[in-house]
Amino acid sequence: MLDIKEIIKNPDLAKKKLQRKGVAPKKIDELLTYDQEKKEFLQKIENFKNQQNKISKIFATLQGEEKEKILLEMKNISEQKKVLEKDLVVTETNYKNLLEKLPNPPDEDAPDGEDDTQNIEIKTFGEIKKFDFEPKQHWELAENLNLLDTQRSAKVSGSRFYFLKNKLAILQRALIFWAFTEVAKSGFSPMIPPFLTKDKALYGTGYLDKKENYCINPGEDNLYLIGTSEVPMVSYFQDEILDEADMPIKFVSYSPCFRKEAGTYGKDMKGIFRVHQFEKVEMVVFCLPEETKSMHKKLLEIEENLLQKLEIPYRVVDVCCGDLGISATRKYDIEAWLPGQNKFRELTSTSICTDFQSRRLKIRIKRKNGEIVHAHTLNGTAVSSRPLIAILENFQQKDGSIKIPKVLQKLCGFEKINYTTE
């Protein structure tokens, strides 16, 4: 949520910033109109309350016609106040709905653009391997080696679900455990959060309005399956005041994730790239405003370090304004090279959310001088199930086998997945 005081202070600047995320300037004018109306209604209602209090104090001393006259006046005041209170509710609802839908303005250094085709490549790592055979896509490799079953999962759960089998299931567990412990070594407190959250947690992190959420009991307590552990982990400190001496607070969390992937039907239908259920190791940081950009660089550094150790070639892209979403002001995506698809595809990302989420969740920091400020929040994906795709495609061999990255071999207990896998 944005700070209305800052918008009132400089509405033209707010319009300029938000226009970069596609928000029409008239939306700011509408918001300011609602805000002014709200203040005027509140003042008029307060004036009527003061009149009622004054009349109440002298009412017992009145008699006859004078008392009748005052009774009529009190009735008139009460009716006018009720009308104003109804108007106030409408205005406050319009004000709240509009303010809550305004996205976090992009960082001044975020590139302009409307969608991911306008993201800017800023860095690459690793050599793109040249194969002396036609490289296969991950789903072909996995099915050939009896590592993946999407046909039976479709019978059990529907499309976009899967069974990981045999050595690929072991590789997945090794990947998740390895990344979880690697990030923890960097000073991140390991956490396993609840996999269900209330709607307040989704609202607070900016995910409530997304159509990809699974609500397991709508109309009751509105519990949602999480689409990312960012949701419970950012909500961990809701309604709390943290101490400056504890900043930054860094968490690394593991969770399964559940998403409907609304609006993506027809895309990536085969394999495990875009699915309804996957596992993820997520980093979440709470920090002071002046620490935000350095922490963002740190998160990106950790993500890159993990992929470098996995020996996966990748590029880093600076995400444009139109692709940032509601909460982020700056975002870097890391896209791995997938030889089977002959292109880069997103593997991880890291975002700055400034005080957007902490305002909604009322997470604040008390500075040493006593000043109270909203915490800044950041998030970053260490690994998800997607690196499996990059491993399968980049480490495939001519005989159909798959080599295992060296850092995972000990955890897996094998160096290769052979074509004869049972």
Model pLDDT, residue 340: 95
Model pLDDT, residue 261: 77
Reading phi first (left if > 0) and then psi (alpha if -120 to 50, else beta), residue 77 is in alpha
CATH 3.30.930.10 fits 116-417, yes or no: yes
Q: Which residues contact 416 (CB under 8 A, 6 or more apart)?
A: 397, 401, 402, 403, 404
Q: Are 334 and 313 in contact (CB under 8 A)?
A: no
Q: Are 198 and 228 in contact (CB under 8 A)?
A: no
Residue with structure tokens 């260490």? 382
Superfamily grouping for domain 4-101 = Serine-tRNA synthetase, tRNA binding domain (1.10.287.40)
Decide: pTM greater than 0.75.
Answer: yes
Closest CA to 319 of 128, 118, 179, 129: 118
* CB environment 64-98: b (16+ within 10 A), e (fewer): eeeeeeeeeeeeebeeebeebeebbeebbebbeeb
Distance, CA of 385 to CA of 182 (rounded, Å): 17
Distance, CA of 110 to CA of 352 (rounded, Å): 11
Q: Where in the chain is the domain with CATH 3.30.930.10?
A: 116-417
Model pLDDT, residue 56: 77
Closest CA to 202 of 319, 326, 316: 326
E-assigned strands of 165-276? 189-191, 196-197, 214-215, 224-225, 241-243, 249-258
Report the alpha-carbon angle 67-82-5, nearest 5.
Answer: 125
Q: Model confidence over 344-377: pLDDT tens digits? A: 999 999 999 999 999 999 999 999 999 999 999 9
E-assigned strands of 353-421? 364-366, 372-374, 376-384, 402-403, 416-417
Q: Where in the chain is the domain with CATH 1.10.287.40?
A: 4-101
Q: Residue 236's CB: how many other CB atoms inside 10 A?
A: 17
Closest CA to 365 of 298, 294, 292, 296: 292
pLDDT tens string, the chain, 422 residues long: the values are: 899 999 999 999 999 999 999 999 999 999 999 999 999 999 999 998 888 888 877 766 766 777 778 778 888 888 999 999 999 999 999 999 999 999 999 999 999 999 999 999 999 999 999 999 999 999 999 999 999 999 999 999 999 999 999 999 999 999 999 999 999 999 999 999 999 999 999 999 999 888 889 999 887 778 999 999 999 999 999 999 999 999 999 999 999 999 997 656 667 778 899 999 999 999 999 999 999 999 999 999 999 999 999 999 999 999 999 999 999 999 999 999 999 999 999 999 999 999 999 999 999 999 999 999 999 999 999 999 999 999 999 999 999 999 999 999 999 999 999 866 44
Element (H, E) at 124: strand 120-125
Q: Are 228 and 156 in contact (CB under 8 A)?
A: no
How many Cα atoms are found within 13 Å in the side-chain-facing hemisphere of 2? Answer: 30
Q: Residue 235's CB: how many other CB atoms inside 10 A?
A: 24
What secondary structure does DSSP assign to 273-338, as a single string?
A: SS-SEEEEEEEEEEE-GGGHHHHHHHHHHHHHHHHHHTT--EEEEEPPGGGSTTT-SEEEEEEEEE
Q: Are 335 and 388 in contact (CB under 8 A)?
A: no
Model pLDDT, residue 421: 47
Q: Are 228 and 278 in contact (CB under 8 A)?
A: no
Distance, CA of 385 to CA of 24 (rounded, Å): 38
Q: In what order do the strands lie in the sheet with 224-225?
A: 196-197, 224-225, 214-215
